[in-house]
Amino acid sequence: MWPNGNINKFCEETLSYSKLIAELDDVVIQMILGSYGLEKYYDPLKHSYMYLMRFIKYRSPNINEINIGHLPHRDKSFMGIIDTNQVGGLEMQTRDGKWMTFQPSSYKTVVFIAGEPFTAWSNGKVYAPMHRVIMKGSKDKYSLALFSFMRGIVKVPEELIDEENPQHFKSFDHFQFLKYCATDGCKEKNPIKAYCGV
């Protein structure tokens, strides 16, 4: 991968990029918390975060292959941020079950996708969409993704529970949820509900 020995430069630039994207994630979390009047939860959330950055390549389909680059799924991270590299192919399902195609602009475009643990933390207010990647044509797709995970116990804020919206999720450990998804939960249609739903 590095025939000219540029591994150190690659690592430095990767770390620098991931820090910038983490700062962007920080701003989005503050905006979401602010929209629900939950600013006091910012520090506990921020201090429990850890990140995983992935480099993703979706190859173009061979002849006689279907055009799917990644099967429909919901993320198991708290939040995912995807740098689309101005290449299309990402599709998301709306709450009413319709698929929409995301068209990146000609400018630098990133997409924020809430994961199932964010849905549980928000007591169902934040939607974790089913999404997939459809590859067409002869061009491979490259993207970067930064995923956030929560250390410790994830608990629904009391302010998001009332008579109109009773508690839908019990407190849970995010990493135990990941283990569940890798075993028994892989068969569930809605793993987060099966794991910690009320």
- Grade residue 116 by pLDDT with cuts at 50, 70 and 90: very high
Which of these ranges, 64-78, 163-177, 184-198, has the smallest mean pLDDT?
64-78
Angle, CA of 65, 68 and 72, to the nearest 5° = 145
Residue 81 has pLDDT above 80, yes or no: yes
Which of these ranges, 100-104, 148-152, 170-174, has the smallest mean pLDDT?
100-104
Q: Which amino acid is at 104?
A: P
Strands (E), 3-106: 49-58, 68-73, 79-83, 90-93, 99-101
Residue 106 has pLDDT above 70, yes or no: no
The per-residue pLDDT of the chain, averaged, comes to 88
**DSSP state letter for 122:** T
Mean pLDDT of 32-59: 92
Residue with tokens 């809430």: 114
**Contacting residues for 25 by C-beta, under 8 A, at least 6 apart:** 79, 81, 112, 146, 148
